[in-house]
Amino acid sequence: MDPSGNDPETGDSDRCGLYIEANLARLVALGRVYEGSTVVHNTSLLSGQVKMGVEEVKDPDAPVHVPTDEVSLVG
């Protein structure tokens, strides 16, 4: 693994947290960011958005930031 925390073989990074920013930011999942990905669930990512693979759900009822017909909740 490269010292920057990115795995050059898979493009994934060290574990990170996914937070929902409402009145108070809350942790809803843990996972990894996939550098260089441009599409998630057949939807193109906008500038500033990244693909994250969820490995551990903390709040299954939390809404995803960009819902699709296939995915609307973290869980």
Question: How would you write the chain as a 3-class SS string?
Answer: CCCCCCCCCCCEEEEEEEEEECCCEEEEEEEEEECCCCEECCEECCCCCCEEEEEEECCCCCECCCCCCCCCECC
pLDDT of residue 59: 95
pLDDT of residue 4: 44
pLDDT of residue 62: 92
pLDDT of residue 2: 38
| pTM exceeds 0.85, yes or no | no
pLDDT of residue 9: 58
Q: Which mean pLDDT values do the consecutive 10-residue runs of the chain (75 residues) have?
A: 48 78 87 87 86 92 85 90
Domain ranges in the chain are 12-57
